[in-house]
Chains A and B, each alone.
Chain A
Amino acid sequence: MTQALLRAEGLHKSYGGLVATRHLDLDLHAGEIHAMIGPNGAGKTTAMGQLSGELAPDAGRIVLDGEDVTRLSMPARARRGIARSYQITAVFEEFTVRQNVAVAVQAMARHHFRMVRPARRDPELNAGAEEALGRVGLLHLADEVAADLAHGQKRQLELAMVLATRPRVLLLDEPMAGMGNAEVDAMTRLLEELRSHYAILLVEHDMDVVFRVADRTTVLVDGAVLASGAPEAIRSDARVQAAYLEESA
């Protein structure tokens, strides 16, 4: 396989006596979905926070396409192509669906200090927003206020915002949390479509989804990698079964 697009080397983070991330090595290639699974409290979200730049690791480094980004802030990493979605839905509730995505488009379009033309009728922002909304199948709700959306639709909207920043790396933290079966199915198919265009790190609890879409799976337990490899190998790994699969079953 080619050189990894995003690579974490020896990430370590502790909160007092609690080690949240333990010498974690992880790599992510363009065109693959890399699933990160593990029991609650295994440190998945903490690891993601360090990759996105919200949290600073105590030790280790993070390399994006050959560039060391360990010391870069989250906005700086976002502008270099690392986009993340949140486990707890984070959309702009007062904006319409279109405005939500337009803000994401604008993040990469610049001209932030333009105070003259109304953003609502900005063709550059609206075209980009509508394209991203079309990809997640939410275009028909473009004029709805985000607060009025159903939970599953908000998750779709979040994905549209992530895509609208034209990222290279997607860090998706449980994109299907709280979704119904039909929505999970739609989102799963969407992830499969997105696979070839991005490097995707997917934290997910739904094992059916993980085994369906993931090219590789890493199992995290107590902040450390317990096992990593093809989903089939993970499924049959005795340690993984002992540590995680049975517990959650």
Chain B
Amino acid sequence: MPETNKRATFLTLGVLAFLAILPPVALALDRPYMVTLANRMLVYALAAVALDLVMGYGRMVSFGHAAFLGLGAYTVGILHHHDVMMTPFLFGWAGSNEALLAWPLAMLVAAGYALLVGAISLRTGGVYFIMITLAFAQMVFFFFVSLIAYGGRDGLVMFSRNSVAGTDILGSRVVLYYVCLGCLVAVLAFLVMVVRSRFGRIIEGCRQNEQRMRALGYKPFVYKLTAFVLSGALAGLAGALLANHSEFVSPDFLSWESSGLLMVMVLLGGLSTLVGPIYGALTLFALEEVLVAYTPHWQLVLGPVLILAVLFFKGGLYGWMTGKRTG
């Protein structure tokens, strides 16, 4: 549980401050692509923080979180597509390019899917849970691959970013960046509150000893499912942001590699810390950026780095930097 630890608070504020001043600095240094890269990192960090709620606090190891991301992105992409093409989407509705409508809908779609997947897969645990969440995510992946009307394998191009209350402020890359950063900070603050609450304590109790929770009168399934749906909805929000960032949605967003990447971010940054996954995402994107300059086979270097990190930093980067052992 993220506790009030001066060093941890200092580090977290430091990272957030760094992210806050990044765009003006990158632009001053004439490196606008840094903003793009960092924005992508923010979006994945948001999904990884959401994953930590279930993976870290509830020990529900979901290997299918990219599906929530992808569903969020496709919701935004498809609504945009119909809006631009002026073709009816559902019941004569021609879609929408409005963020205030499309983003909540993206979260709702992801939440609905999470409810379905959770209701089935939470009846299992351990390795079975990992495999079932992966299987569901692969189903969604192949669904979109075969959905020719929305680009199939090639994905769907967005001709503009979403409008916000009718304005096109997201047209500015810097504005979009700060919107993403705002969402990340808001989600982080919300989840820190959730894990410290009565509900959060139940989730942690279920992780430690489900049988004991039943004997006390709790029905673990209900709370685990709620956490799973919450996590899915927030990953769906990340997907909506990803669509706007990329101005493109693709089945690649839903690939199992993408799910794996989110898990790596959580593990590398620090399981059950919520803040840790942000460190994980930052490190992973930075490593990729540095290594890719030397070799196209950068993952060959990344692999061992990850293995060593997971082996030697038990509490992830966050635990290592704050001197805390968690997870």
**Which positions in A face B, CB cutoff 8 Å?**
52, 54, 73-76, 78-79, 83-84, 86, 90-95, 99, 102-104, 106-108, 111-120, 122, 125, 161, 165
A-B contact pairs, 22 of them (CB 8 A): A73-B214, A73-B219, A75-B214, A75-B218, A78-B214, A79-B217, A90-B209, A90-B211, A93-B208, A94-B208, A99-B201, A103-B213, A106-B201, A107-B216, A114-B197, A114-B198, A115-B197, A115-B198, A116-B197, A117-B198, A118-B193, A165-B216
A81 to B16, CA, bound (A): 49
* Chain B at the A interface: SS class: helix
Question: A116 and B216: CB pair below 8 A?
Answer: no
Across the interface, name the chain A residue whose C-beta is closest to B191.
Answer: A115
Give the size range of B's interface with the partner: 20 to 34
Question: A118 and B217: CB pair below 8 A?
Answer: no
Question: B215 and A112: CB pair below 8 A?
Answer: no
Question: A113 and B205: CB pair below 8 A?
Answer: no
- Residues of chain A within 8 A (CB-CB) of B200 are 115, 119
B52 at the interface (CB under 8 A from A): no
Q: Nearest Cβ distance between residue A186 and chain B, in whole angstroms?
A: 23
Question: A107 and B218: CB pair below 8 A?
Answer: yes
Q: B202-213: contact bitstring with A at CB < 8 Å (1 yes, 0 no)?
A: 101100110111
- Residues of chain A within 8 A (CB-CB) of B209 are 90-92
A91 to B202, CA, bound (A): 14
Q: Nearest Cβ distance between residue A123 and chain B, in whole angstroms?
A: 13
- Given the known interface contacts A115-B197, A119-B200, A119-B201, the answer about A107 and B211 at a Cβ–Cβ threshold of 8 Å is no
- Residues of chain B within 8 A (CB-CB) of A107 are 216-218
A160 to B192, CA, bound (A): 29
Interface residues of B in 194-248 (CB under 8 A from A): 194, 196-202, 204-205, 208-209, 211-219, 223, 226
Question: A83 and B198: CB pair below 8 A?
Answer: no
Question: B214 and A118: CB pair below 8 A?
Answer: no
A90 to B198, CA, bound (A): 20
Q: Nearest Cβ distance between residue A102 and chain B, in whole angstroms?
A: 7
- Residues of chain B within 8 A (CB-CB) of A108 are 217
For the complex of A and B, the 9 pairs showing the least CB-CB separation, nearest first, are A78-B217, A107-B216, A118-B196, A107-B217, A79-B217, A92-B208, A119-B201, A115-B197, A90-B212
